[in-house]
């Protein structure tokens, strides 16, 4: 019988003893055994910190992002293998697509996010702050990778997505990880990690895997480590409360299963598009992954006078769901992850029945296709009705982690909000309504108790990713019962694995530390016009101070005619009494255009390929006729770009600080322009 291997300290090893048997969720047959007995978890964590961490921290965000892209492309070559194994977990093709290709999609998303970071192993966070009147003392915030290891303790329901959505973030941040998937479905996680390891793309120690018990691993975490946990609130609290975690102040991010809800707006009635959208969404969330999703809909709030209509419509929709062997093309809902999981769900349903009744489905029987309903962990979708949701509290306290949802009435939107809050915090809530006033009232009333809120209507339904789909660029997590944690969220997620440190010093010193030019720092003599330099030749701080240009009333008039901007302040005949200006003032955009005329070297071809944008443009002082302006033009930041096609020009992005000053040496405006600059021909 196959025994799963653990990928630790650079090798694949098996644990001691027979190990825990893992079962085919469809047939009940033993698939493999898993054991971590005899593993030295202190060495596992230390290997990641000592070998994986330094290797990742040597790479820039750009290099780490490209590494994630390479892993994603590699995994896509092995989809057939992953799907065939996924069916053994009870997952249908669509379930497996969400898990496998959704996880790979997270790698691609975070690979693309590299463009939001500098070409460094660290980054600045937010804006700098001038701390002195003379401009010689400032402060900023710097983010550096934590020098520990990320410990991911994942749930059984998404053995691939659960791993990839987390490691995408810590690897981009420059932190190694050890993944501990839920044992029951760890055979699929092992298959994916084997392909990642075989690719040789990640540095040694960047990713380790343990299939089985976590043993005493958490006894060896240190203050620089990060723990993420996905699972039940009870288990999460037990882990989070361990003495070593508290003493070391280890970051612990928990995503607990929660009682997510959906609300049918009072404006939605049978016959309107939103009605069908609502029914489809609830059916999908009850049957995808057989309801085994931390984001699945557990509570359904419906206007009192539409309870019967929703009951009938949902019953018809659920009756069309073919249940059985996931490998059969006719099947739309597979099994639960195992017989023990099915038993647990049934036990939870019994608790729910204290205040509810089953109005669709059977707790004891289910018709299945191409499978044995007893040997496999199959279960009928169950729709319950709780007619008194403010007194029958089990619906707001007990979660059956399977295809089980409870229908409940409300009489006003305020009641719907109050009911949603009785879940004491959830990962996600949805409201289906075509009335944006109702949507706003619900969102603002419920937002503090949910990590994400989906407002669903006919306008967005075709493109909506749905109630149950966390997205890489949006935060995933929730307050209270949902664990109080937060993961993903684009740049926000990366920062969870980095240490923020406030730095203080002169602008010149902060520039040298961060490799991003800070206003008032000393400029560097570029030796020649910066536009004549190739990307590699440019240095952050290269600075050009231009000649002066006299601004005349005729200039302003001509720009007004050319642009069509005849705002009263630009017309010299205007009576300026009661305005903010003394007399005719130059257009800010004219000053920016004149600035380009002063700093651009345009008479011969040079390495600057194009100018493609202006960021943070501000006009800080009026420019009147007779003023003389000049420009301080400084290389602010550089980011290398990879070639998309073989015949692409080698290039990088350069940001330039443009400071527009007048004859009194006061700033009249400041901007950041972006140029694409060629690298030296090879």
| Enzyme catalytic residues | 255, 294
Q: How far is CA 287 from CA 3, 282, 660, in A?
A: 32, 9, 61
Burial of 74 (0-12, 13-18, 19+ CB in 10 A): middle
Distance from the Cα of residue 252 to its chain's centroid: 18
Residue count of the chain, please give it. Answer: 682
Return left, alpha or beta for 101; rule: phi > 0 is left, psi -120 to 50 is alpha, else beta: alpha
Separation between Cα atoms, residue 44 and residue 54, nearest integer Å: 15
Q: How many CB atoms lie within 10 A of CB 84?
A: 12
Quick one: which of 487, 462, 461 has its CA closest to 474?
487
CB 297 within 8 A of CB 260: yes
**Please, what is the Cα angle at 461 between 455 and 463, to 5 degrees?**
110
- Bridge partner residues of 90 (DSSP): none
| Residue 268 φ/ψ, nearest 5 degrees | -95, 120
Q: How many CB atoms lie within 10 A of CB 578?
A: 5
Place of tokens 């098996």: 14
Close Cβ partners of 662 (under 8 Å, ≥ 6 residues apart): 621, 623, 627, 628, 629, 668
- Pairing relation of β-strands 150-153 and 177-180? parallel
- Pairing relation of β-strands 357-360 and 382-385? antiparallel
Q: How far is CA 31 from CA 21, 27, 34, 68, 87, in A?
A: 8, 10, 10, 30, 12
- Pairing relation of β-strands 261-264 and 299-303? parallel
Pull the structure tokens for residue 625.
Answer: 């006729």
Coil vs helix vs strand at 588: helix
Task: Please report the DSSP string for 591-620 in residue order.
Answer: HHHHHHHHH---SS--SEEEEEEEEEEEE-
Separation between Cα atoms, residue 597 and residue 197, nearest integer Å: 54
Separation between Cα atoms, residue 282 and residue 321, nearest integer Å: 13
CB 339 within 8 A of CB 23: yes
Separation between Cα atoms, residue 206 and residue 177, nearest integer Å: 6
| Residue 333 φ/ψ, nearest 5 degrees | -140, 125
Pull the structure tokens for residue 595.
Answer: 């600035």
Pull the structure tokens for residue 675.
Answer: 């140029």
Q: What is the DSSP letter of 660?
A: E
Close Cβ partners of 665 (under 8 Å, ≥ 6 residues apart): none
Coil vs helix vs strand at 256: strand
């Amino acid at each position: 019988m196959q025994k799963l291997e653990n990928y630790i300290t650079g090798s694949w090893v098996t644990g001691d003893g027979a190990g825990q048997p893992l079962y085919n969720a469809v047939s009940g047959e033993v698939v493999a055994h898993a054991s971590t007995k005899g593993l030295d978890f202190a060495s596992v964590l230390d290997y990641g910190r000592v070998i994986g961490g330094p290797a990742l921290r040597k790479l820039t965000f750009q290099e780490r992002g490209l590494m994630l892209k390479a892993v994603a492309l590699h995994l896509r070559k092995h989809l057939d293998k992953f799907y065939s194994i996924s069916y053994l977990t009870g997952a249908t093709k669509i379930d497996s697509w969400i898990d496998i290709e959704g996880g790979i999609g997270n790698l691609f998303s975070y690979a693309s996010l590299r463009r939001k970071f500098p070409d460094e192993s660290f980054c600045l966070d937010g804006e700098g702050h001038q701390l002195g009147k003379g401009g010689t003392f400032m402060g900023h915030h710097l983010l550096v990778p934590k020098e520990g290891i990320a410990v991911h303790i994942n749930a059984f329901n998404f053995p691939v997505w659960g791993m990839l959505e987390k490691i995408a973030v810590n690897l981009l941040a420059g932190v190694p990880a050890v993944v501990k998937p839920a044992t029951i479905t760890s055979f699929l996680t092992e298959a994916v990690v084997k392909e990642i390891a075989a690719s040789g793309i990640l540095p040694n120690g960047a990713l380790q895997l343990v299939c089985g018990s976590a043993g005493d691993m958490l006894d060896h975490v240190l203050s620089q480590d990060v723990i993420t946990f996905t699972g039940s609130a009870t288990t999460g609290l037990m882990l989070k409360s361990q003495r070593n975690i508290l003493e070391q102040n280890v970051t612990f991010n928990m995503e607990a299963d929660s009682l997510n809800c959906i609300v049918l707006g009072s404006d939605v009635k049978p016959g309107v598009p939103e009605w069908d959208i609502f029914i489809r969404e609830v059916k999908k969330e009850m049957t995808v992954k057989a309801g085994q999703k931390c984001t699945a809909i557990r509570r359904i709030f419906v206007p009192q006078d539409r309870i019967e209509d929703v009951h009938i419509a949902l019953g018809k929709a659920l009756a069309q769901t073919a249940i059985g062997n996931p490998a059969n093309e006719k099947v739309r809902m597979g099994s639960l992850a195992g017989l023990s999981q099915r038993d647990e769900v049934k036990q939870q349903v019994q608790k729910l029945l204290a205040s509810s009744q089953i109005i669709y489905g059977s707790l004891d029987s289910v018709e299945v296709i191409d499978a044995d309903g007893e040997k496999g962990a199959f279960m009928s979708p169950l729709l319950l009705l709780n007619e008194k949701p403010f007194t029958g509290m089990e619906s707001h306290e007990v979660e059956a982690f399977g295809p089980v949802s409870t229908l409940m009435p409300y009489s006003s939107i305020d009641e719907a909000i109050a009911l949603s809050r009785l879940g004491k915090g959830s990962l996600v809530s949805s409201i289906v309504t075509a009335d944006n006033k109702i949507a706003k009232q619900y969102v603002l009333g419920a937002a503090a108790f949910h990590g994400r809120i989906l407002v669903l209507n006919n306008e967005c339904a075709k493109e909506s990713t749905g109630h149950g789909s966390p997205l890489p660029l949006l935060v995933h997590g929730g307050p209270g019962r949902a664990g109080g944690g937060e993961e993903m969220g684009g740049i926000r997620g990366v920062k969870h694995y980095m240490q923020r440190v406030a730095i203080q010093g002169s602008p010149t010193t902060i520039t040298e530390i961060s490799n991003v030019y800070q206003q008032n720092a000393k400029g560097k003599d570029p030796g020649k016009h910066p536009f004549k330099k190739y990307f590699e030749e440019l240095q952050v701080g290269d600075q050009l101070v231009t000649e002066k240009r006299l601004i005349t009333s005729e200039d302003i008039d001509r720009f007004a005619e050319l642009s069509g901007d005849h705002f009263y302040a630009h017309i010299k005949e205007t009576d300026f009494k009661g305005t903010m200006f003394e007399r005719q003032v130059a257009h800010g955009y004219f000053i920016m255009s004149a600035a380009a005329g002063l700093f651009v070297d345009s008479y011969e071809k040079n390495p600057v390929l194009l100018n493609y944008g202006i960021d943070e443009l501000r006009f800080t002082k009026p420019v009147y006729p007779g003023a003389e302006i000049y420009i301080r033009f400084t290389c602010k930041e550089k980011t290398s770009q990879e070639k998309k096609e073989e015949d692409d020009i080698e290039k990088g992005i350069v940001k330039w600080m443009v400071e527009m000053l007048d004859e009194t040496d006061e700033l009249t405006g400041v901007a950041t322009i972006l140029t694409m600059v060629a690298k030296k021909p090879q």
